[in-house]
Amino acid sequence: MSLPSSPLYLDWNGALPVLRKAYDIGLFAMIIGPKGTGKTTLVKAFGAEIGRTLYPVNFSLRTRESHLVGTKTLENGEVGFVDGILVESMKLGGLLYLDELNAAEADVLLRLDEALDDRRQVVLKESEGQTITASKGWTVIATINPLSHVGTKELPPQLLSRFPVRLRLEYPPEEVEVDIIRRHTSIEDSALASVSIGVKLANKLREAAAVEELYYSPSMRETIAFSKLIKSGSEAKYAAQLVFANVYGQWGDVEYRKVMDMITSMFGN
């Protein structure tokens, strides 16, 4: 778990006040959006704002129930129990951050469901039936990727209903994305024109992926990586090829060439 920090989050769509409101009235929130739109940065910024310790769990196929509730140990011949991240966050009243919740397996979701209902309690069958009740201020934020993303599943409706405040976080408008990149990379103003073209390119690729004309949609992580390459002295067109075009080579020459054509028309020589 991590202590709250103040990441460079640009609240371009007014998400922070919504999260604050949900927190003040004791509701859990869910953030829905494609990868790399700044969901994690938003939650970190919110943790810093409310002064709560962040307990992040990144769900995947390999996340087990024991990661959440805890696990039995054998020490000096005695069976003990180490709290999982869910239990620890409940005991200490932290901000539990369930990242990519819809990548979790069904049994994991079941244990979560138990803790998230109005009683805010979880019974540890693994630890002699101990009942854990959440301390005051305990709150939960989940993020989910759209179902078109690899490894995602539909969340069971009862679990969805535990997060009645739902925020959609899409890719920001071009100028906002450039601003976000500027904060993340401290890039010089003279290089902003190239960054701007890179963001424009990323948006074109996102649009093409949305209508199934390309297999992959670049995220803000990629536009930030592109800008970092420029900052380190790479030529813009070459940086665009490295970050945006080469990845399409795995789907064949034509797919790669389509993106290279766009890069050529945008950057020229």
Partner 1 sequence: MSEYKYNKLNVTHSSTLEGLTVRDDVLVEIATFLSRRWSDKPKSLVTFTEEANPKTSPDKNQIALPHLRGYAGNRFQKYRQWRVSLWYESMRLKYSTKVLSYDHAFGFVFNALEKKRIESIGLDDWKGMMDEIIFDEGISWLNRPLLNSLYGVQKLLEGFGQLFLTGYIKGELFSSEHDKVAKAVELATSVVQEALASQYQTRWIEEQVPRIIKILQVDPLVLIPFSTIRSRFGISMSESELSRQIEKIVRKRRTAEKNIEKSVDAIVDGTDILPEYETLVRESKRHENEGYENLENMGISIPHRLDVNESEVYDTNLIHKTKAKFKEWRTGWIERHDRFGDEFDSEAFIEFIPTPFIVDLKLTIKTRVMILLDHSSSIQEVELKYKQVTNALCEALSFLGVRFAVYAFSTDGKQVKCWLIKPPNYRWSSICTKRLAQIRASGGTPLAEIYGLLEPMVRSFKPEIFFTLTDGEPSDTDAVRHMVLSFRKIGTHMVALGLGRNLDEAISIGQNLRYLEYERSLAVSKLEDIPKKVIGLLKS
Q: By the criterion CB under 8 A, which residues form the site for partner 1?
A: 61-62, 64-66, 71-72, 146-148, 150-152, 197, 200, 204, 207-208, 210-213, 215, 252-254, 257-258, 260-269
> Cβ of residue 243: shortest distance to partner 1, in angstroms?
17
* Residues sharing a CB contact under 8 Å with residue 255, sequence separation 6 or more, in sequence order: 214, 215, 248, 249
> Cβ of residue 103: shortest distance to partner 1, in angstroms?
10
Residue 119 or 168: the one with the smaller Cβ distance to partner 1 is: 168
Give rounded-to-5 percent helix, strand, coil for the chain: 50, 15, 35
> Cβ of residue 3: shortest distance to partner 1, in angstroms?
30
Residue 188 or 261: the one with the smaller Cβ distance to partner 1 is: 261
In whole angstroms, give the CA distance from residue 91 to residue 108. 19
* Residues sharing a CB contact under 8 Å with residue 71, sequence separation 6 or more, in sequence order: 81, 82, 84, 126
CA 67 to chain centre: 19
Angle made by CA atoms 85, 71, 88, in degrees to the nearest 5: 25
> Cβ of residue 263: shortest distance to partner 1, in angstroms?
8
Residue 84 or 94: the one with the smaller Cβ distance to partner 1 is: 84
Residue 73 or 161: the one with the smaller Cβ distance to partner 1 is: 73
> Cβ of residue 189: shortest distance to partner 1, in angstroms?
19
Residue 62 or 136: the one with the smaller Cβ distance to partner 1 is: 62
In whole angstroms, give the CA distance from residue 247 to residue 243. 7
Residue 41 or 71: the one with the smaller Cβ distance to partner 1 is: 71
Long-range contacts of 208-216 (CB under 8 A, 24+ apart): 214/248, 214/255, 214/258, 214/259, 215/248, 215/251, 215/255, 216/247, 216/248, 216/251
> Cβ of residue 23: shortest distance to partner 1, in angstroms?
31
